[in-house]
Chains A and B, each alone.
Chain A
């Protein structure tokens, strides 16, 4: 299996632009997690899904952030409009079941100018 796939790997955009990050889960996994990593705050869970349903989105910082899981193998995280403080590395991870080992993607490094 190719593991969790994220795209793009790097994104540079200007403040106010819409950003869409993409994630493909490992085949057969039912849980999907979106994280953000910064030097200041470390790794933070933004939202997680189980069987395509959002279970907990309390970590989503603002209404500017939204996440979807249109099918069992794919998810998007959208930021609209983006701001410089959104600059971070965004990871998605998947697991077979919610409490199992999480497998992380390589991350998307987002820079908002």
Chain B
């Protein structure tokens, strides 16, 4: 059974600092990995999707890397802003299936 871990569970940084969020998974036989953002009381918003054949994806200030062999992904958010405060979740889907396994998330607070 795929286990997805996100450490730390919470993170507080001053505005302008770069954010580094970690995600690890136990089974490297994945189809893809997705990063989501969840604001309090809201649904999830997809940020980036990395196919298993890719090493990274970029969107604006966000960059996600994937090291499938070591079972790790990292989400980098450059020059953080208070509006980046949210919970960030990673999720992996296995080969031959499309069921996402989610991590518990990292709750980020960016202080103005």
Contact = CB atoms under 8 A, between A and B. Distances in A.
Interface of A: 4, 31, 33, 42-43, 45, 48, 55-56, 59, 91, 93, 98-107
Interface of B: 31-32, 34, 36, 42-46, 49, 89, 91, 93, 97-100, 102-105
B44 to A, nearest CB: 4
B31 A99 contact: yes
Contacts, number: 45
Main secondary structure of the interface of B (DSSP, over half): strand
**Which residue, A33, A56, A91, A104, has most C-beta atoms of chain B within 10 A?**
A104
A100 B100 CA distance: 11
Contacts of B45: 104
B49 A106 contact: no
Contacts of B102: 42-43
Contacts of B49: 100-101
Contact of A56 (B32, B44, B97, B103): B97
A31 B44 contact: no
A91 B43 contact: yes
A38 to B, nearest CB: 11
A48 B99 CA distance: 8
A42 B100 contact: no
Given A42-B102, A48-B99, A99 B43 contact: no
Contacts of B32: 99
